[in-house]
Amino acid sequence: MSQQDDFDRGLKNRRAVLGDAWVDKSLDNATAFNAEFQSLITRYAWHDIWGRPGLDPTTRRLLVLGMTMGLARWEEFELHCKAAIRGGVPLEKIKETLMQGAIYCGVPAANTAFKITLDILREEGLVPPRQPLSAGVRVATHHTFSEPQLKVAVQGQGTPVVLSHALGLNVQMWDGLAAELAATYQVMRYDHRGHGGSAVAPGPYAIDDLVDDAARVIREWGRGPVVFVGLSMGGMVGQGLAIRHPELLRALVLANTTSQYPPEAQPIWAQRIAAVEAGGLEAIADAVMERYFSAAYRASHTEEVAACRRTLLRSDQQGYVACCHAVRAVNWLDRLNTIACPTLIIAGKLDVGAPVAMSQAMAERIAGSQLVVIDEASHLSVAEQPAQFAQHLQRFLSTLK
């Protein structure tokens, strides 16, 4: 039987990381002067180090980028950066590595690293979308003056639109839609209390607390009445605003949400709260992803789902639990007939967290409301089907006087 030696094992790792073309070039061009060196690094660097089980390959790739950046070894940085991109390392992780390097390696090094990486992305046909920082386009962030302080992000010019996110997420949930709307509208997003960059007030919270937060954010902004777009927990807040603060709303969009949970859902919420209190957010992360995204989307968009999971895990545990108490007790159903502003309801056909029947119940009670169902969408319909979500929203906005 043929047996692999350390060179063969190292060569396998070297090819997996750098690609066959580069490795073949190095080996085929070896001479009597540097062949032993090529053998040395293949055996010891690529087998003994890259073959160690302590770190996953992606982490090792990112570490190499940070180290070569810090040492200004730009030839090696470019080689490993190109290999990382071609090897499927998420661009978000590469970007975060360079951002970390801006602090620990210095701004000049980070500037060079970003330039090299952008050149590689252009070469690979992966040019990132434009995100100008010019006036009227740049995303401006601040916090409310009132307490508990809430993080707010504003961009664009025009009719004011407010976006309100789902439980366990933050303003980044709306990045794509906010950028699209900002071409025509002024878009304000905010983190709910206990989430993202907002303060974590002592809990538990009531849904009225979240509604009052939204009302004061709009009043501080001074642009009301607004079009309020809420998804899941954000949609529950939107219903409360339309019922309790109708003067603040020009129109309402309720996506993947409910006005009331049936009695049989209460033990499920109790179990979720108990699981987080006992084991942290990691204890429920996988289950939440299964409710937020359809099986097909989870299989075909692994990095997007992983990024959402990381956002959930960065959430404050106490803030999350406090909001769970608010969500489980939502009860607007019998007051929906008082909502008078134009209302669009968006449901996902695959949504098990807020089934279409819940949207139909709202549509039956809100006079003149429109209901649309997105076929290939689960709970985070704006993430699974962003084009369809935006199309329905833009069509609705165009009808407002």
Number of H helices, E strands in the chain: 18, 8
Q: What is the pLDDT of residue 2?
A: 58
- What does the angle CA 49 – CA 54 – CA 58 come to, to the nearest 5 degrees? 80
Model's pTM, two decimal places? 0.83
Report whether 313 contacts 285 (CB < 8 A): yes
Tell me the two tokens of residue 150.
């809430």
Q: Could you check whether the bond before residue 204 is cis, i.e. omega within 30 degrees of 0?
A: yes
Q: Could you check whether the bond before residue 90 is cis, i.e. omega within 30 degrees of 0?
A: no
Report whether 129 contacts 111 (CB < 8 A): no
Q: Can you tell me the distance from the alpha carbon of 189 to that of 187, in angstroms, rounded to the nearest whole number?
A: 7
Q: What is the pLDDT of residue 1?
A: 43
pLDDT digits (tens, 9 = 90+) for 157-176: 999 999 999 999 999 999 99
For 294, phi and psi rounded to 5 degrees? -70, 160
* CB proximity list for 287: less than 8 A, separation 6 or greater: none
Which ranges of the chain have pLDDT less than 50?
Answer: 1
Q: Can you tell me the distance from the alpha carbon of 235 to that of 254, in angstroms, rounded to the nearest whole number?
A: 5
* CB proximity list for 219: less than 8 A, separation 6 or greater: 248
Q: What is the pLDDT of residue 78?
A: 97
Q: Can you tell me the distance from the alpha carbon of 155 to that of 187, in angstroms, rounded to the nearest whole number?
A: 5
Tell me the two tokens of residue 49.
């180090």
pLDDT digits (tens, 9 = 90+) for 375-389: 999 999 999 999 999
Tell me the two tokens of residue 320.
């999350």
